[in-house]
Amino acid sequence: RLSNRLETVAKYIPAGAKFADIGSDHAYLPCYMLKKQKASFAIAGEVVDGPFLSAQKQVVNEGLSDVISVRKGNGLEVINDGEVDCITIAGMGGSLIAAILDDGKDKLRSVKRLVLQPNVSAYSIRIWLMENDWSLVTEEIIEEDDKIYEVLVAERGEGKKPYSSHIDAELLLGPYLSKERNQAFQKKWSMEKANWERIIGRLETANETEETAAKRQELSWKIALVQEVLGNES
């Protein structure tokens, strides 16, 4: 059985897709999609030997070698031109995901959909998408085993325009997630805010330098953005 986190990613891979799962580790996601015949072909990309070998082993054990190609390489370099129409990247930091997309821009020409699950800093991904003409089409936030995960789905071009005049807050918290404000969302951001308040408290008792002043200002700004969405009682 797939984790809820990866099942949420799987849900947004179009039926019959040819997709590349970058940083696939055990290739659980490609195996699940192909075993259930929800996709027609997958590449499992891995840059590290250990996970690459686990992916190879898993695909062979599941008898899926003819429909899943396990490849070793950095980011999108494992994809040949036109091979896939969807890319999934899950379980890494948002800035690493954005860097992988940015380094592999020329591999994105045939790609219509990105399904991204950052462990932290979804913000970096929303910024990258906006600056590179990808439109965020939906988002989901879920809690599993006391951890909270965000899944971002993007399609090429202008498409949906999810941002309102509260764009700064929406880039940080997510435009769709900010509207829905489900339990996982409220939990995540009240915890983040409490954490930032603790840090500000500590900074206030330390000797003020330019650096601590800048940090304090950044955190106060982020707290204000969270309050804009959750309200002052959060």
Q: Give the one residue of 35, 91, 112, 123 binding ligand SAM; rule: CB under 6 A.
A: 91
> Residue 140, interface with ligand SAM (CB under 6 A)?
no
Q: Mind giving me the DSSP string for 112-180? A: -EEEEEESS-HHHHHHHHHHTTEEEEEEEEEEETTEEEEEEEEEESS------TTHHHHHHH-HHHHHH
Q: Give the one residue of 11, 37, 48, 220 binding ligand SAM; rule: CB under 6 A.
A: 48
Tokens of 153: 């789905």
Comparing every residue's Cβ against ligand SAM, the nearest one is 23
> Residue 75, interface with ligand SAM (CB under 6 A)?
yes
CB of 42 to ligand SAM, least distance (A): 12
Binding mask 92-131 for ligand SAM (x = CB under 6 A): x-------x-------------------------------
Tokens of 222: 């982020």
Contact 58, 28 (CB under 8 A): yes
CB nearer to ligand SAM: give 14 or 73.
Answer: 73
Give residue for tokens 């206030």: 204
- Which amino acid type is present at position 59? V
Q: Give residues in contact with ligand SAM (CB under 6 A).
A: 6, 22-25, 45-48, 51, 74-75, 90-92, 100
